[in-house]
């Protein structure tokens, strides 16, 4: 089965078949996903490489937030047919402009990489927070200007707390 996977603003083709997983029509590699009991962390082995992955389902079909080895990605995985229909109908058009950076889970702010007035690019690291004994870099989903920074290093935050507002 062929999927179109969008990570942040970049689309790639991923094919799942009996001989393995292939990325952008490259040679198939064996892949294995396993849960770590009592933890939201999963181990993903692709070929000989192993990744720690935390997956959070988001609203909407095929949408997820992924933390892979401490890096955060906004992902959407749809089969080819659904992706084509969505593109043709423009159903995927959401609000235009940057979204505020919010805490995806309770944690402790380790570092703030921006200040009010800074210009940020899509995918740029904004805040680093520690959660579940892992540092997670939270990134801007779109380019914008920092309107406010609502946290400082050492601040404990709850899930959904506003960290940085962008305009």
Q: Which residues are within 8 A (CB) of 63 and not within 5 positions of it... i.e. 6 or more apart? A: 57, 74, 75, 76
* Fold of the domain built from segment(s) 101-166: OB fold (Dihydrolipoamide Acetyltransferase, E2P) (2.40.50)
Q: Where are the chain's structural domains?
A: 2-89, 101-166
pTM for this prediction = 0.50
Q: Which residues are within 8 A (CB) of 59 and not within 5 positions of it... i.e. 6 or more apart? A: none
Say which CATH class 2-89 falls into. alpha beta
Tens-place pLDDT, residues 36-52: 888 889 999 988 999 99
Tens-place pLDDT, residues 64-101: 998 988 888 888 999 888 888 777 775 555 556 678 89
């Amino acid at each position: 089965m062929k999927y179109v996977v969008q990570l942040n603003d970049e689309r790639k083709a991923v094919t799942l078949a009996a001989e393995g997983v292939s990325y952008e029509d490259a040679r198939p590699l064996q892949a294995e996903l396993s849960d770590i009991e009592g933890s939201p962390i999963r181990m993903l082995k692709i070929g000989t490489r192993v990744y720690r992955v935390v997956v959070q389902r988001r609203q909407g079909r095929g949408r997820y937030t992924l933390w892979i080895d401490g890096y955060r990605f906004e992902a959407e995985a749809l089969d080819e047919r659904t992706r084509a229909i969505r593109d043709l109908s423009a159903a995927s058009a959401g609000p235009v402009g940057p979204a505020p950076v919010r805490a995806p889970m309770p944690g402790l702010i380790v570092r703030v990489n921006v200040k009010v007035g800074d210009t940020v690019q899509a995918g740029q690291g904004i805040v680093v927070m520690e959660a579940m004994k892992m540092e997670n870099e939270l990134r801007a989903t779109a380019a914008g200007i920092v309107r406010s920074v609502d946290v400082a290093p050492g601040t404990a935050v709850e899930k959904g707390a506003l960290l940085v507002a962008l305009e």
